Amino acid sequence: MGAKSKASKEPPKVKEEEIVAESEEPAPVEQEAVEEVPSAVTPPIILETPIEAHLAQIVIESFGDEEKDPLFTGERTVKYHGGHVYTGEFEDGKMHGEGEYTWAHGLKYKGDFENNVVSGMGTYMWPDGSVYKGDVENGFRHGKGTFYCADNPSIYSGEWVHGKRTGSGKICYDKDELSYYIGDWVDNKKCGRGFRQYPSGSTYEGEWFENLRHGQGTMRWAGTGECYTGQWNMGIQHGEGTQTWMVDTSSQLPLKNEYKGQWVDGKREGLGVFSYASGARYEGEWKDNAKHGYGKFFFKDGPSSQVISRTTVS
C-alpha cells in the first residue's frame, strides 16, 4: 500500500530537452575561429627605410629621365637597388605627395607620402590579390579602412591601430554577408561587445574576449527556438544563466521549457530550476546536465499543485 502511494506521487513524464556539447547536434554552441585572415597579411605593413639625400647616388639605380639631381622636386620614376620602384611626386629629393611604390616581391602601395614615409590615405595591394583601402600612418594601417582578403571571401571594414584591427569594426565571412561579426576589436581579436551571426543563422550578442564568447551574452539557435542568456567563459556557458526550449509555437502563447540556474563548462550543474511547458517545475541540485542531489518537484494535478521532496534525485 505504501509503495503504491509513493508511486502515485511521481511527477508526470514530461520530455526534457537537453543541452548538448558544442560539437554535437541539434543545437551546438558554435565554435569560433581564432584566426580569420591569413597570417601573411596580418603583420603590420612597414615601408622599408626611406632614402636620405646624401645616399641617393648609392641606393638609386636609375631615374626615369636624364635628371639625376638627388634633391629634385616634381614627378619622377625612380628605381632602387633591390628592384623596388617608385613613381610619383618628390619634394627636395624625398617622396612627398601622391605616388606609387612597388616592392620587388610584388606588394604595391598607392596613395599619400610624407617625407619618404607612407602616411595619409592610400591603398595596399598584395600579390595574392588582397587589398587594403583607407588611412595609413608611418606605413601601418591606422585609422579607418577596409581590408579585402583574397584567400577567403572575408572583408573587414572599421578601425585599425598600428596595422591591427582595434576599435569598432565589421567583418563578413562570405560574399552574401550571411556570416559576420560587428563590434569591438583589440589586436585583431574580438574583444569587448559584439554581435555575431553564424553560417547556420544562429546568433550571439554580448561580451567577447580573445575571439571567444566571454562574459554576459545571449545565444539564439536558428530553427530550434532555443535561447541562452547568461554568463559565458571562454566560449561556453559557465556561471548563472537561463536557457529556453520552444515546445509548441502554434498557439498564441508559445509553450516552452526553461532552465534557470548554475552552469559549469556548458552543462547544468549546481542549483537550478527547470520549468516544464506543462506547468510542472523542478527546483534543486544538478550535475552533468541531470537532476542530482536534493530537489523538489512541483507538478499540476488538476487545479492544485503537489510537492515531492527527495534526498536524491537522478
For cell 616592392, the residue is 103
Q: Please, which residues have CB within 8 angstroms of residue 96's CB and are 6 or more apart in sequence?
A: 89, 90, 113, 114, 115, 116
Higher pLDDT, 39 or 142: 142
Q: What pLDDT score does 97 carry?
A: 95
Q: What is the pLDDT of residues 109-123, one digit of tens each?
A: 999 999 888 999 999
pLDDT band at 67 (very low <50, low <70, confident <90, very high): low
Q: pLDDT tens for residues 11-30?
A: 222 223 322 222 222 244 34
Would you say 205 and 216 are in contact if contact means Cβ atoms under 8 Å apart? no
Closest to 69 in 3D by CA, of 41, 50, 90: 90
Q: Convert the chain into a string of H (helix), E (strand) and C (coil).
A: CHHHHHHHCCCCCCCCCCCCCCCCCCCCCCCCCCCCCCHHHCCCCCCCCCCCHHHHHHHEEEECCCCCCCCCCEEEEEEECCCCEEEEEEECCEEEEEEEEECCCCCEEEEEEECCEEEEEEEEECCCCCEEEEEEECCEEEEEEEEECCCCCCEEEEEEECCEEEEEEEEECCCCCCCEEEEEEECCEEEEEEEEECCCCCEEEEEEECCEEEEEEEEECCCCCCEEEEEEECCEEEEEEEEEEEEECCCCCCEEEEEEEEEECCEEEEEEEEECCCCCEEEEEEECCEEEEEEEEEEEECCEEEEEEEEEEC
- What dihedral do alpha carbons 134, 135, 141, 146 form, nearest 10°? -20
Look at residue 151 in the predicted model and tell me its pLDDT. 83
Q: What is residue 98's predicted lDDT score, i.e. its pLDDT?
A: 96
Cross-strand pairs, 218: 205, 229
Residue 58, pLDDT above cutoff 70: no
The torsion of the CA quartet 61, 64, 70, 71, rounded to 10 degrees, works out to -160
Average pLDDT, the chain: 77
